[in-house]
Amino acid sequence: MPADTPPLLSMRGIDKSFPGVHALRGVDLSLAHGEVLALLGENGAGKSTLMKVLAGVYPPDAGRILLAGAEVRFRTPQQARRAGVAVIHQELNLIPALTGCENIFLGQEGSAGLVSRGAEARAAAALLARLGLSVPLHVPCRRLTVAQQQIVEIAKALLHDARIIVMDEPTAALTPLETRQLFRIVGELKARGLGIVYISHRLEEIFQVADRIAVLRDGANVRDCATAAVDRPALIEMMVGRALTEEYPRRVPRIGPPRLVAEGLVRGRAVRGVSLEVRRGEVLAVTGLVGSGRTETARLIFGADRPEAGRVLLDGRALRVRGPRDAIRAGIALLPEDRKTEGLVLAHALRDNFALPNLSWLSRLGFVRRRLERERYAEYASRLRVRAPAPTERARNLSGGNQQKLVLAKWLARRCNVLLFDEPTRGIDVGARYEIYRLINDLAAEGKAILMISSDLPEVLGMADRILVMHEGRITGEITDARRADQRQIMELAVRGAEEAA
Amino acid sequence: MTRKQAIRRGLVGLANYGMLPVLVLLCLLFSVQTITEQQPEGAAAGRALAAAILARTPPRPRVAAFVQAHEADAALVQALAAGLEAAGGELVATARGDAAEAARVIEAAAAAGTPLAALACTRATAAWPAVRAAARDHPTLGDPPVVTPPGYLWPQFLMPANIRNVANSISIIAIIAIGMTLVIITGGIDLSVGSVIALAAVLATLLIRDGIALGPLRLLGGSLEATPATMIAASLVAVAVCGLVGLASGALITVFRLPAFIVTLAMMLIARGTAKDLTQSESVYQIPPAYTWLGGQSSLGGIPNAVLLMLLLYAAAWVLMHRTVLGRYLYAVGGNAEAARLSGVPVTRVLLFAYFLCGLLAGVGGIVMASRTKSGSATYGEMYELYAIAAVVVGGTSISGGEGSILGTLIGAFIIAVIETGMNLTHVPAERQPIVLGGVILGAVLLDRFKQWAWRRRAAPAD
């Protein structure tokens, strides 16, 4: 590309403040045609705010945005979309009840308000064909996989003549196979001259997909360079502001007798006879493809769903769990996969969220002991380094990492002996991740039994003492010496499970 | 800051303070609009009258007073006499009763031949012909002036009687709005409370009139001769039945996962229908006058019993919501039921409690209503569920659950009452009043929206 053509996107000196927070301090960002730019930074570094400014959600306090050399001012997201900026959020924005086709054309149904189904279907199919993809377009979106929904979103963006696509954590809920397919699509979009801003906490992906890397920290540019010019440790140091000597803290496991034993758990097609045990002081990782029944198994142990068969033993005694209340009383905690919908009451104060599972011991005769509650919250919030303006702040105003720490805090205060972590670091930045890992190690060292569900294979390998691989509701493989395993070994177990099932 | 921003910031500020400033503003508005000349009464009138007489007559005046035969005027005479005596004067004659009595007193004074310094009257007695003609007909009296207590300017709205009236008129809706607040905070709704009021009133009055007999044993009843114990028992039974109605709604909503809107809509029809069926659509009035103790004119220190009951219930509800584990659970269930369940909150039991209490309080509202009217009728409480919801929403409780406050509801209820009585005092036609009320409800919801904007703008964005 000749040097004198203006870049596809140029954001200059973007400044944005919220009351109490200076979110962006004169940030610059540029993006060329056919380029994939990885936007990196810890939670709270300003990535989302910058992208919201680009997408017309927030007006910038200062700074200019140029699209192909022409200055633009977006007042609404609609204006940004019309100008060719599409954002694919982590939480996909499709309407579950509508079909893929209807979602793609939503808002573009033609001027007369009449819908021409045939023409739409043909146009959508042609669009996907050009990308070399096929997705069932005539079933409601809620029945599509996350990867398929993403493709629908991408198709929607292309139909709106998007020139810039922002992808926010696109692989968070994808299997490795689906991730590879996504990268192929990204390559296709590149070839068509689109610019892509790629946001992810998974650094290994960055090296695979990005041409250039821009790092933000505390709302300011830290570095902007070609991907080839940096390596992983350097990248982490740029994001965190200090060198992390290791991503996974070391621990000498002291593993005792079995603590949690599940025998023959069955529920529908999701869990078809799962038996497992977690020992004192052990970190057991359960991995496998999304939908393999990992989360469902944890929910059965916790009593969130009722098992059709099977039983759970804690320290050798059979548990009678009719609901989470019983499990909690017995000393089992579940840190759910989706902390926003299952872990926290977002509209409520941090302290109220913290107290919720602990009210039985934070009260006397049904009355909340408010001083005790204040003290305990302060204790655990500082121990876990929850960064928040005040205990009365609403949970929704915290970053993902701090929200996860809050969920952790409420269960730690409960002093549970078995902790079920479901994707404990999804969407969480490197720095906060490290703190959560250290905490998991501390808990194991105290003799608690930890069951950690994760799709992040480096994390599984870095943290677990033992690994179970699940596929279609069954345990299909076990790696007893996790320290010496590698990613290929896990993938082989998962795939072999798939082949055996087929 | 642009003008637009300033307006927005003002609205946001207002929203954050809740609706209390709105209530204060409304009271001020109606106070200014209803400033009129007020007539003092009772002892205050007596003192004012004595002062007025002493100011315009020679020292040590001899005065005759003309008053009506009620308590307030008796107090007036007493204070007047005391005031005059303190200055060396004397109340030589007092006419209590009607114009004829006044004429007799004047005749007697004239016959005695002693001149009077003044004729002390109230606004009412000054108009009696005998008083007006006294000086002309009886020269021996010495042409005494007719003196009445001087009036003063004061808002009609802020008269104690009016404030009592505002509080009394809203007490029933305010009581049922407590239960409604709880239910709405859990993310539900209860449309049946208006009908449950009628059910409670009808049940209580029927039980007092006809009673229940268990074989030869007559447990309740007694019609006009019913004892207080019978009346209390009948009322409690009625309230308990209403609690069961709420519990039934709650059970259908939680066990079968039916939408609260539909379940309580059906319950609304069932409760109203039952009340109509029990009374054959006729009013039940054969109950002792003593039954009006709760909702009638009886009061403690000037506060009517119904208002006192309302205040007590609000205090109890505040403690429940803000100091107890159950209160926390109610908020948590409304904020995020699934997260609450996974945190060990007994969601079903919490919801059952909310609907049970809502029915119970609607029952209490029905008893107050029956007591106020000394009768039970299947038509009671129509539309009350909507007024209760309005009070809750105007009070700042989010209709989507998880947020809200019990004191906000009390303020909301008072805003509705103040607007209604204020409009009556300022002679807004009754036909037009609902329009204003509707506008206020919309305004409250808009304020809530501004509050949420404020949040989103304040929120530190999470990456």
Domains defined along chain B, listed by start: 3-30+159-459 (1.10.3470), 42-150 (3.40.50.2300)
* Mean pLDDT rounded to a whole number for chain A: 86
Put simply, whether A336 touches B (Cβ < 8 Å) is yes
A349 min Cα distance to partner chain B (Å): 11
pLDDT band (50, 70, 90) for residue A284: very high
| Chain B residue whose CA is closest to A400 | B462
Asked if B461 lies within 8 A of A18 by C-beta distance, the reply is yes
Q: Which of A131-135, A376-380, B19-23 has the lowest mean pLDDT?
A: A131-135
Asked if B344 lies within 8 A of A352 by C-beta distance, the reply is no
Residue the block writes with tokens 């000393």: A331
Q: What is the spatial distance between Cα A92 and Cα A60, in angstroms, rounded to a whole number?
A: 25
Highest mean pLDDT among A147-156, A335-344, B336-345: B336-345
Give the mean pLDDT of A388-395: 87
* pLDDT above 50 (res A1): no
| Tokens (6 digits) for A491 | 């993938």
| Chain A residue whose CA is closest to B462 | A399
Strands A283-288 vs A449-453: parallel, antiparallel or unpaired: parallel
| Chain A residue whose CA is closest to B331 | A348
| Chain A residue whose CA is closest to B346 | A325
Q: Which residue in the set B329, B339, B346 is minimally distant from A343, CB to CB? A: B339
| Tokens (6 digits) for A451 | 């069951």
> Largest Cα–Cα distance in chain A?
76
Give the mean pLDDT of A236-264: 82
Highest mean pLDDT among A182-191, A273-282, A425-434: A273-282
Residues 6+ positions from A99 with CB-CB distance below 8 Å: A137, A138, A139, A140, A141
Asked if A399 lies within 8 A of B462 by C-beta distance, the reply is yes
Paired with A421 in beta bridges are: A335, A452
* Amino acid A501: pLDDT: 47
Return the closest-CA partner of residue B116 out of B84, B92, B147.
B92
Q: What is the spatial distance between Cα B332 and Cα B403, in angstroms, rounded to a whole number?
A: 9
**Model confidence over A270-280: pLDDT tens digits?**
899 999 999 99
| 8 A C-beta contact, residue B93 and residue B105 | yes
Q: What is the spatial distance between Cα A309 and Cα A264, in angstroms, rounded to a whole number?
A: 7
Spans of chain B, pLDDT less than 70: 1-2, 4-6, 8-17, 212-223, 451-463
Q: Which of A63-77, A151-165, A330-344, B275-289 has the lowest mean pLDDT?
A: A151-165
Residues 74-93 of A with CB under 8 A from B: none
Return the closest-CA partner of residue A206 out of A234, A164, A244.
A234
What b/e string do you get for B69-90 counting C-beta neighbours within 10 Å, with b at 16 or more? eeebbbbbbebbbebbeeeebe
> Mapping DSSP to helix (H, G, I), strand (E, B) and coil, where does residue B46 land?
helix
Give the count of Cβ contacts less than 8 A between chain A and B.
116
**Model confidence over A92-122: pLDDT tens digits?**
778 888 888 888 887 665 555 566 777 778 8
| Chain A residue whose CA is closest to B332 | A345
User: How many CB atoms are closer than 10 A to CB A491?
Assistant: 16
Residues 6+ positions from A200 with CB-CB distance below 8 Å: A38, A169, A170, A171, A206
Q: What is the spatial distance between Cα B347 and Cα B337, in angstroms, rounded to a whole number?
A: 7
What b/e string do you get for A121-138 counting C-beta neighbours within 10 Å, with b at 16 or more? bebbeebbeebebebebe
Which alpha helices (H) appear in B280-346, and where do they start and end? 305-323, 325-335, 337-342
Return the closest-CA partner of residue B196 out of B148, B136, B266.
B266
Q: Which residue in the set A43, A356, A400 is minimally distant from B340, CB to CB? A: A356
Asked if A328 lies within 8 A of B403 by C-beta distance, the reply is no
Q: What is the spatial distance between Cα A316 and Cα B83, in angstroms, rounded to a whole number?
A: 92
Residues 395-434 of B with CB under 8 A from A: 402-403
Return the closest-CA partner of residue B454 out of A397, A93, A339.
A397
What b/e string do you get for A451-470 counting C-beta neighbours within 10 Å, with b at 16 or more? bbbbbbbebbbbbbbbbbbb
Q: What is the spatial distance between Cα B378 and Cα A281, in angstroms, rounded to a whole number?
A: 67
Q: Which residue in the set B324, B457, B462 is minimally distant from A400, CB to CB? A: B462
Q: Which of A236-245, A432-441, A475-484 has the lowest mean pLDDT?
A: A236-245
Q: Which residues of B touch A348 (CB under 8 A)?
A: 331-332, 335, 402
B interface mutation test: which of A337, A356, A396, A421 has the most B CBs within 10 A? A356
Q: Which residues of A touch B459 (CB under 8 A)?
A: 18, 396-397
Q: Which residues of A touch B340 (CB under 8 A)?
A: 345, 356
Return the closest-CA partner of residue B332 out of B356, B313, B315, B349.
B349
Paired with B35 in beta bridges are: B155
**Model confidence over A25-47: pLDDT tens digits?**
999 999 999 999 999 887 668 88
Put simply, whether A117 touches B (Cβ < 8 Å) is no
> Mapping DSSP to helix (H, G, I), strand (E, B) and coil, where does residue B155 land?
strand
Put simply, whether A48 touches B (Cβ < 8 Å) is yes
Q: What is the spatial distance between Cα B67 and Cα B69, in angstroms, rounded to a whole number?
A: 7
Put simply, whether A352 touches B (Cβ < 8 Å) is yes
Q: Which residues of A touch B324 (CB under 8 A)?
A: 363, 366-368
| Tokens (6 digits) for A134 | 């096929």
Question: What's the one-letter identity of residue B67?
Answer: V
Start-to-end C-alpha separation, chain B: 29
pTM of the model: 0.78
Put simply, whether A363 touches B (Cβ < 8 Å) is yes
Asked if A397 lies within 8 A of B462 by C-beta distance, the reply is yes
* Amino acid A119: pLDDT: 78
Give the mean pLDDT of A352-367: 94
Put simply, whether A52 touches B (Cβ < 8 Å) is yes
Asked if A359 lies within 8 A of B335 by C-beta distance, the reply is no
A interface mutation test: which of B323, B326, B463 has the most A CBs within 10 A? B463
